[in-house]
Structure 1
Amino acid sequence: MTPTAALETPAPLKPAESRSRAAQVQKIVSSGGVEAWLVEDYAVPLVAVEFAFKGGASQDPAGKPGTANLLSGLLDEGAGPYDAEGFHRALDEDAIELSFSADRDNFHGRLQTLSRNVAPAFSLMRLAVNEARLDDEPFKRVSSQIAASLKREVNDPDHVASRAFREKAYLGHPYGRPVRGDLDVLPTLTRDDLVDLRTAVFARETLKIAVVGAIDAEALKRHLDDVFGALPQAAGLIATPEAEFSSLGQRFVVDVDVPQSTIRFGRPGLAQRDPDFFAGMVVNHVLGGGVFSARLFREVREKRGLAYSVYSQLLNYDHGAMLYGGTSTKNERAAESMAVIEAEIRNLSEVGPTEEELDKAKKYLIGSYALRFDTSTKIASQLLHLQTDGFDVDQLDERNRRIAAATMEDAKRAAKRLFGDASLLVAVAGRPVGM
């Protein structure tokens, strides 16, 4: 069985089989004080581990975006006694999948293994976390791979529009910087930059861990101490300021010689702990939640044939939140597409959803939630997200209850707050006519 098979193997955390997802989660603490959330499942001989340290790309040094991303690409490129080739051979021999990544707020690690290989899997993870070599050869190779990817994105309208939008939305803030870095900055990054960031970020006080699979609490505790016990307790993070949404009501066009305009639009959102967040989730689903019944899909695609795809979503970070959406359309129809999008946002703000829209959105959001728990890796990912977002395990059950409780009054209030006067920040890559 390969690591890919582990990704596809069902696990038992399903609503039809349990009245409470939260009740299936054990909170454990090792003798060394390392905490984790565990769901034991012996139906299949697999173990999935997800962990994260607070502090991702927002901790990149000033003027050096991409530092955390480069570090994440090097942790499994040689560690302890193994060079890069030897480390990957050790992973492959036992069908172990180990990877790292950095987003804007967190530095992630992921481990997937057969239960019979738990010991060597955790041993290799320990080496990557504590003794990554950051050797010169893989440093140059991974840097070159990132650079090649960034070069391909220079003329990619999706990337260009998204990057321009984020830079304008979060002017001067770490969230406005590219997570994967810049072509002109990447060659200036040094091994010392990576070591300094690792030293600042890898600490137990911000560590969150989720484990799902065929492993008991006592065995897991021993492995957690082995992997994370030697890390310093305190992190050396740079404080990230609250992000103010900028450039609302403005439009920015980046000239790209393509027949279609790629559009990104947005405005300030609702924080996850805002009392109106769940009602806001429902009205956003009504607007552009990626289903055929969403207003933007009906008005932009079905009725007018302006675009194949159009969407909106709520994005939440530790220090900011936004309503974010996008579409692609012919250059000569870009202005018309934006006019339709703005009209639907304005209507939802002023009138709110219909009873039928509210009911359909709630049923979809509640019913589809189970799809996030149909494999061990998905369950571990959901448990980790809750922890990094600062929620307790009861949020596993509370989420659907809060959605079900949203009334029409709640939805209209949330729509007014979320959509406001329908003014948007818009970034376009292409040659849009009339914008």
Structure 2
Amino acid sequence: MIRFLATLTLGLFIALPAKAAVEIEEVTSPGGITAWLVEEHSIPFAAIEIRFKGGGSLDAEGKRGATNLMMALLEEGTGDMDARDFAAAREALAASYEFDTYDDSITVSARFLTENRDESVELLRKALIEPSFTQDAIDRVRAQVLANIRSNAQDPRRIANRAFDAAAFGDHPYGSPLSGTLESVAALTRDDVVEAKARTMTRDRVYVGAVGDITAEELGTLLDDLLGDLPEEGAPLPDDVDFIPEGGVQVVPFNTPQSVAVFGHEGITRDDPDFFAAFVLNQILGAGGFASRLTEEVREKRGLTYGISTHLVPLDHAELYIGQVASANDRIAEAIEVVRDEWRRMAEEGVTEQELQDAITYLTGAYPLRFDGNGPIANILVGMQKEGLGIDYITTRNDKIEAVTQEDVARLAKRLLDPDGLYFVVVGQPEGLESTN
């Protein structure tokens, strides 16, 4: 996607000590908007993270890419300011705004100095409430989006991910790129952009996290000033969708000496009682870098790849357990067989006590490192709200990981891992592999 980034002096980002407790306060504005706040007054600076549930999945039928284009246009002018005027005003305030589009959300990230808070919030309010969406700006940003789509069409990894999503989800919004296609983006009008904003940027599905030099009372006023004029309700969310393929291989021919494979099957929901067992399992199987089983078997023992990884992906309307690997055309078939074998071994045998303890030690020890600044903490607060994790999640998360046992992982592995159900999309000129369906 196209990102319009503004920078802020790195010295303004504060880091919490690894053992520090993060005290979160729930704030409700006079107008009824809720946010989670961590006050930190040591530096006159604050970060606000705003997330609207829905994202690219709310594109109207036949308008794929409209939400992505709309979000990329928010810094392109408001009122009597064009893009250059807006950028100059933002820089004069030493403020930073980022606007992003994802499958299940659109996000707004703001960073500003305390002394310029009111002016920075007002400038952001104009971008959110009164964007110009001029035809010149639409044409210019559309050209950038189209260039990005063309570039992605020549990237084997992007091709593999796009083909995997299409096979996994079919006509559901998850089945197509949120940036749209050359045809859909070229056909978008200003009315489509305006409609995309009305469908996605509404008060009924907004989550806010704030961290830094701001009090609860000040945040309440800020929320109403910034978001109070947004529409109350947006478009209906899409239906849930099941993972379609039942295993197999899809080969996408592409002229390259190295094939890229994306693989996976149905995953696990974030609120499943066994999610933390799945989290630990994934660390051992494929997320643990050089310590993972797949890296050991595919890279270290056989030299089939430079890297392989797996990921739990609990989307709002579907769940995936996916991975990716790249290997020479004459070796990718062997790499795929090793992946299947390791999937089966984990499902049948579970994990060792040493693997379990090493994974738990890493996952619990690495967690405090995520709290390395106002912005990252604000983002974590928003994610916690959207996932329904509870305001005490930061203090209880490691306890839940440490409570996972060998038996938990073994039970979950038998339920989750399906070696015969793995679906592989291979982009390249793989030797010894043909599409099975």
Rounded Cα–Cα distance in structure 1 between residues aligned with 2:331 and 2:162 = 22
2:389 is aligned with 1:385 = no
Give the Å deviation of 1:15.
Answer: 4.6
Give the Å deviation of 1:201.
Answer: 2.0
The equivalent of 1:46 in structure 2 is 45
Question: Secondary structure of the equivalent of 1:223?
Answer: helix
Deviation per CA, 1:148-181: give whole Å up to 9, x if none.
Answer: 1111111110110111111111112111110111
Question: Normalising by the residue count of structure 1, what TM-score does the alignment of the two structures yield?
Answer: 0.96
The equivalent of 1:236 in structure 2 is 234
Tell me the amino acid that sits aligned with residue 179 of structure 2.
R
Question: Secondary structure of the equivalent of 2:209?
Answer: strand
Question: Secondary structure of the equivalent of 1:16?
Answer: coil
Rounded Cα–Cα distance in structure 2 between residues aligned with 1:80 and 1:29 = 30
Deviation per CA, 1:95-149: give whole Å up to 9, x if none.
Answer: 2111211111111111012222211110111101100111111111110011111
Deviation per CA, 1:7-52: give whole Å up to 9, x if none.
Answer: 872332x45123xx3xx01111111111111111122222111101
Q: Is the 8 A contact 2:285 2:294 kept in 1?
A: yes
2:308 aligned to which of 307, 310, 315: 310
The equivalent of 1:137 in structure 2 is 136
Question: Secondary structure of the equivalent of 2:299?
Answer: helix
Question: Secondary structure of the equivalent of 2:182?
Answer: coil
Q: Is the 8 A contact 2:254 2:428 kept in 1?
A: yes
The equivalent of 1:37 in structure 2 is 36
The equivalent of 2:424 in structure 1 is 426
Structure-to-structure mapping, 1:204-243, within 5 angstroms:
204-233=203-232, 235-243=233-241
Rounded Cα–Cα distance in structure 1 between residues aligned with 2:164 and 2:280 = 24
> In structure 2, do the counterparts of structure 1 residues 187 and 115 end up closer, same or farther at CA, with 3 Å as the change threshold?
same
2:14 is aligned with 1:10 = yes
Give the Å deviation of 1:222.
Answer: 1.3
Question: Normalising by the residue count of structure 2, what TM-score does the alignment of the two structures yield?
Answer: 0.95
Rounded Cα–Cα distance in structure 1 between residues aligned with 2:131 and 2:10 = 25
Deviation per CA, 1:60-114: give whole Å up to 9, x if none.
Answer: 1122211110011001110123121111110111121112111111111110122
Q: Is the 8 A contact 1:358 1:408 kept in 2?
A: yes
Tell me the amino acid that sits aligned with residue 10 of structure 1.
I
Q: Is the 8 A contact 1:158 1:262 kept in 2?
A: yes
Give the Å deviation of 1:416.
Answer: 1.1
Query: Percent identical across equivalent pairs?
Result: 38
Rounded Cα–Cα distance in structure 1 between residues aligned with 2:330 and 2:234 = 51
Structure-to-structure mapping, 1:78-97, within 5 angstroms:
78-97=77-96
Question: Secondary structure of the equivalent of 2:31?
Answer: coil
The equivalent of 1:163 in structure 2 is 162
Q: Is the 8 A contact 1:266 1:322 kept in 2?
A: yes
Structure-to-structure mapping, 1:309-328, within 5 angstroms:
309-328=307-326
Deviation per CA, 1:274-327: give whole Å up to 9, x if none.
Answer: 011100110111100142110011111111111001000101111111101001
Tell me the amino acid that sits aligned with residue 110 of structure 1.
S
Q: Is the 8 A contact 2:19 2:368 kept in 1?
A: no
Question: In terms of mean alpha carbon deviation, does 270-279 or 380-389 score higher?
Answer: 380-389
Rounded Cα–Cα distance in structure 2 between residues aligned with 1:258 and 1:4 = 40
The equivalent of 1:278 in structure 2 is 276
Tell me the amino acid that sits aligned with residue 404 of structure 2.
A
> In structure 2, do the counterparts of structure 1 residues 7 and 299 end up closer, same or farther at CA, with 3 Å as the change threshold?
farther
Q: Is the 8 A contact 2:265 2:418 kept in 1?
A: no
The equivalent of 2:3 in structure 1 is none
Structure-to-structure mapping, 1:28-427, within 5 angstroms:
28-233=27-232, 235-427=233-425
Rounded Cα–Cα distance in structure 1 between residues aligned with 2:425 and 2:362 = 30
Question: Secondary structure of the equivalent of 1:17?
Answer: coil
Give the total of aligned pairs: 428
Rounded Cα–Cα distance in structure 1 between residues aligned with 2:360 and 2:128 = 41
> In structure 2, do the counterparts of structure 1 residues 119 and 6 end up closer, same or farther at CA, with 3 Å as the change threshold?
farther
Tell me the amino acid that sits aligned with residue 204 of structure 1.
R
Q: Is the 8 A contact 1:288 1:312 kept in 2?
A: yes
Q: Is the 8 A contact 1:263 1:327 kept in 2?
A: yes
Q: Is the 8 A contact 1:265 1:326 kept in 2?
A: yes
Rounded Cα–Cα distance in structure 2 between residues aligned with 1:80 and 1:278 = 48
> In structure 2, do the counterparts of structure 1 residues 6 and 125 end up closer, same or farther at CA, with 3 Å as the change threshold?
farther
Rounded Cα–Cα distance in structure 2 between residues aligned with 1:118 and 1:239 = 34
Q: Is the 8 A contact 2:340 2:419 kept in 1?
A: no
Rounded Cα–Cα distance in structure 2 between residues aligned with 1:5 and 1:162 = 35
Rounded Cα–Cα distance in structure 2 between residues aligned with 1:200 and 1:326 = 34
Give the Å deviation of 1:421.
Answer: 4.1
Give the Å deviation of 1:6.
Answer: 4.3
Give the Å deviation of 1:229.
Answer: 1.1
Rounded Cα–Cα distance in structure 2 between residues aligned with 1:224 and 1:7 = 26
Rounded Cα–Cα distance in structure 2 between residues aligned with 1:63 and 1:252 = 27
Give the Å deviation of 1:55.
Answer: 1.4
Q: Is the 8 A contact 2:260 2:326 kept in 1?
A: yes
Q: Is the 8 A contact 1:349 1:422 kept in 2?
A: no
Deviation per CA, 1:210-258: give whole Å up to 9, x if none.
Answer: 011111111121111111112232x232231111001131211111100
Q: Is the 8 A contact 2:39 2:211 kept in 1?
A: yes
Rounded Cα–Cα distance in structure 2 between residues aligned with 1:181 and 1:166 = 13
Tell me the amino acid that sits aligned with residue 13 of structure 2.
T
Rounded Cα–Cα distance in structure 1 between residues aligned with 2:174 and 2:202 = 22
**Large movers: runs of 4+ above 4 Å:** none
Rounded Cα–Cα distance in structure 2 between residues aligned with 1:65 and 1:428 = 25
Question: Secondary structure of the equivalent of 2:57?
Answer: helix
Question: Secondary structure of the equivalent of 2:432?
Answer: coil
Question: Secondary structure of the equivalent of 2:77?
Answer: coil
Rounded Cα–Cα distance in structure 1 between residues aligned with 2:241 and 2:360 = 30
Give the RMSD, CA atoms, in angstroms: 1.4
Rounded Cα–Cα distance in structure 2 between residues aligned with 1:80 and 1:6 = 31
Give the Å deviation of 1:399.
Answer: 1.9
Rounded Cα–Cα distance in structure 2 between residues aligned with 1:59 and 1:136 = 23
